[in-house]
């Protein structure tokens, strides 16, 4: 280990070489400027959003909790509606095909 002399002022030349130079105090001005800039207040909001100030409805948490279930239910409802429409269209096509078939039969009887 090397000997470092900080507070002791030796008389010996060999020991004077090991003396640590005096430390200079750090500048506080930069730190104070930074703190003053950080302490400046932010500009006050001129426009007030009334939607944020209005109290929430008492059932907002219930709606939030049910929202995911409602999304699933909405998807299922849309699928069911689409399926019913397809069935009706198939029924109409069959009725139309039957009507066209009967019309051909009636037309062929007269020949």
pLDDT at residue 111 above 50? no
The pLDDT tens digits for 10-66 are: 888 888 888 888 888 778 888 888 888 887 766 666 666 666 666 677 778 888 888
State the pTM of this model. 0.37
- Per this entry, what is the length of the chain? 111
Structure tokens at 27: 């500048």
Under DSSP, the state recorded for 59 is T
pLDDT at 18: 85
86 — pLDDT class (breaks 50, 70, 90):
very high
73 — pLDDT class (breaks 50, 70, 90):
very high
């Amino acid at each position: 280990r090397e000997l470092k002399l900080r507070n002791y002022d030796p008389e010996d030349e060999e020991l004077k070489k090991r003396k640590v130079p005096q430390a200079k105090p750090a500048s506080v001005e930069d730190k104070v400027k930074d703190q003053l800039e950080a302490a400046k207040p932010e500009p006050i909001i001129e426009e007030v959003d009334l939607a944020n100030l209005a109290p929430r409805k008492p059932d907002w948490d219930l709606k939030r909790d049910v929202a995911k279930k409602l999304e699933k239910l909405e998807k299922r409802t849309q699928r069911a509606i689409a399926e019913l429409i397809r069935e009706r269209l198939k029924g109409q096509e069959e009725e139309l095909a039957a009507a066209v078939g009967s019309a051909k039969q009636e037309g062929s009887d007269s020949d």
